[in-house]
Structure 1
Amino acid sequence: MRKILCFSFILFLLCSFTIPSFAASENIKIPNSVTDISQDNTYPNPTQDLPYLQPSELTQQLIDSSNVKIENPDLIKMLNETNIMPSPVAIGYRATIYLGQWALNYESTETAANWEYQKINTNYFDNRGGKSPVQIRYKQEVQKKVTGGLTANIPKAEDVKKMMLLKAVKKTNLPLSFETVVGVGTKKEHVYNIPPKKMGYLYAYAPAINEKGKVTYGEVYLVLKGRQKKIVVKNVTQQGIGAWIPVQDRVSFGFVITEQPK
């Protein structure tokens, strides 16, 4: 049987969208100790606008035909850049094209916050010799970079991080990034009172989201049969994974009064 396969790869104009606003997850309650420093941070963190790729009409047809859910933005981008142009006499041809092994989707099973993920600063004052209260304020003494990451080494780690970040942002409605910086000299005007005969410690922490779930992997094939085209995924596997994702431009404070140095 004569096989005629005519297809070409054409670069489409990719449409990038800022992630839409979602209501905060009911499981993530922001405590009063957490403060927004986005207007005060002396280090301008870049806004983490993740691209949400709108599938082309062909890509959507291929995604809908798949036996496994496809959410990987990079795979969607590749499919968006693909144009299949069957020949007018294509009836009867068959072709199977291997597109590689991919991390196809990520399913979130747990999203929790650690508001004291990493201590980034300490302000203190010794008022043990004083006769009246003393006030202190938060001021960042040194620039501090806070980095998150996956909790285990897994295949296609960067693809998995993108999908986990997308899910975590959607569930929490928080500004998340795998890296954030608090600049030296960042400060807030809220005052903390240290009574006489006491020492006061004002601790600042960078919060982070702990995201847990499972990622699905599979070998992706583009199957062409006559004028029909579909995605078939083979050798599907799943793996559990977790990640720590810092909350950008947020600081959690803890104030301790003591009689002895800590």
Structure 2
Amino acid sequence: MKKKLFLTIIMVLSLICSQSALAKGQQQKPKIPDTVMEISKENTYPNPTQDLPYLQPSELSQALIDTSTVPIENPDLIRILNETSISDAPLAFGYRATIYLGEWALNYESTETATNWEYQKINTNFNDNRGGKSPIQMHYKQEAQKSIKGGLTAKVPEAEHVKKMMLLKAMKKTNLPLSFETIIGAGTKTEQIYNVPRKKLGYLYAYAPAVNEKGKVTYGEVYLVLKGNKKSIVVKNVTSQGIGAWIPLQDHVTFGFVTTDQPK
């Protein structure tokens, strides 16, 4: 009897943990609302594809990274380590060397990722049907080219390195096409129809969505230490700092349609 009760408790706990993990995963990948439309094909300004794949460390780089007590994720530092070549010397007994590689932003730890689907208003289309006798149709058309820029919410050292790491983490967590700058070209339009009733005014607002990424960046002085044929990375003077960033979605627009009796 006790054994059956114990097994039942284990099964219930496992189910709760699985549901919790599933819910967490679902929170990390936001559902795109029906009011949001991808316009990569319609956009008159061809945004470059944001391609920041995770840089794979070489065998030597990975061996060095594994010796560090502080996680190293900075792709630019990994690239330097990938270009490093150290040969084993048969008579290296007693050989010592310490090479200073500089102060680096070593890693970024994400603590919160949220999406603002109306981050910045980029366009307003208007149609007056107050004198009409039947509904009329209107469409979205971008009146002027609009550049939507994101960025860090505070000044930090190695800002460009920090932005790369935050972008990689946010893209992985949300599975959304993110970029610190995206442009909507003038004349961009969609075929989606919005009906303005008679005796009404219609306003179609367009917004650029963006992700708000928050977390912690860790800095440290990096040394390459050679002792005989042993190689390692030592990180000194480690500091951490909280940081946030706004990162726009590329080629996506959120629409808000409103009808009213009086001009706004």
Q: TM-score, normalised by structure 1?
A: 0.89
Match for 2:202 among 179, 200, 203?
200
Percent of matched pairs sharing the same residue: 75
* Candidates 46, 50, 53, aligned match of 1:51: 53
| Structure 2 Cα separation of the partners of residues 252 and 40 of structure 1 | 14
DSSP 3-state at the match of 2:70: coil
Give the secondary-structure state (helix, strand or coil) at the position aligned to 2:94.
coil
Structure 2 residue 53 is matched with structure 1 residue 61: no
Query: In structure 2, do the counterparts of structure 1 residues 219 and 26 end up closer, same or farther at CA, with 3 Å as the change threshold?
Result: closer
Instruction: State the alpha-carbon separation in 2 of the partners of residues 82 and 117 from structure 1.
Output: 43
Matching residue of 2:228: 226
Matching of residue 237 in structure 1 with residue 239 in structure 2? yes
> 2:120, 2:92 → 1: CA distance?
61
* Rounded Cα–Cα distance in structure 1 between residues aligned with 2:49 and 2:159: 22
- SS of the aligned residue for 1:221 comes to strand
1:181-221 per-position Cα deviation (integer Å, ceiling 9, x unaligned): 00111111011111111100000000000000000000001
Change (3 A) 1:38 1:191: same
Tell me the C-alpha RMSD between the 2 structures: 1.1
CA distance in 2, matches of 1:220, 1:186: 48
Please give the alpha-carbon distance, in whole angstroms, between the structure 2 residues aligned to 1:217 and 1:152: 16
Alignment of 1:67-216 (within 5 A): 67-216=69-218
Conservation of the 8 A alpha-carbon contact between 1:126 and 1:200: yes
Which deviations, in whole Å up to 9, do the C-alpha atoms of 1:131-153 show, x marking residues without a partner?
A: 11111000111111100000000
Give the residue type in structure 1 aligned to 2:151.
G
| Distance across 1 between alignment mates of 2:80 and 2:27 | 32
Q: Distance in 2 between matches of 1:241 and 1:26?
A: 19
Separation in 1, partners of 2:91, 2:57: 28
TM alignment of 1:9-28, pairs within 5 A = 26=28, 28=30
Aligned residues: 240
The 8 Å contact of residues 126 and 203 in structure 2, kept in 1 or not, is answered as: yes
C-alpha displacement at 1:26, in angstroms? 4.2
CA apart distance, 1:129: 1.1
When normalised by structure 2's length, the TM-score is: 0.89
Tell me if the contact between 2:45 and 2:184 (Cα under 8 Å) persists in the aligned partners: yes
Per-residue CA deviations over 1:64-91 (Å, capped at 9, x if unaligned) read 1101000000000000011012432111
Q: Which of these residues, 32, 35, 38, is aligned with residue 33 of structure 1? A: 35
Unaligned runs of 5+ in 2: 1-24
Could you tell me how far apart the structure 2 residues matched to 1:95 and 1:67 are?
A: 19
Find out whether 1:253 has 2:259 as its counterpart: no
**Separation (CA, whole Å) in 1 of partners of 2:193 and 2:28:** 31
The 3-state SS of whatever aligns with 1:190 is: coil
Aligned counterparts of 1:129 and 1:91: Cα–Cα separation in 2? 94
Following superposition, the deviation at residue 28 of structure 1 comes to 1.4
128 and 115 in structure 1: CA distance in 2 versus 1, 3 angstrom threshold: same
SS of 1:107 mapped into structure 2 = strand
Q: 1:8-60, CA deviations, whole angstroms, 9 ceiling, x for partnerless residues?
A: xxxxxxxxxxxxxxx87545121110001011111100000113221111000
- Deviation, structure 1 residue 166: 0.2
Equivalent pair of 1:122/1:204 in contact (CA under 8 Å): yes
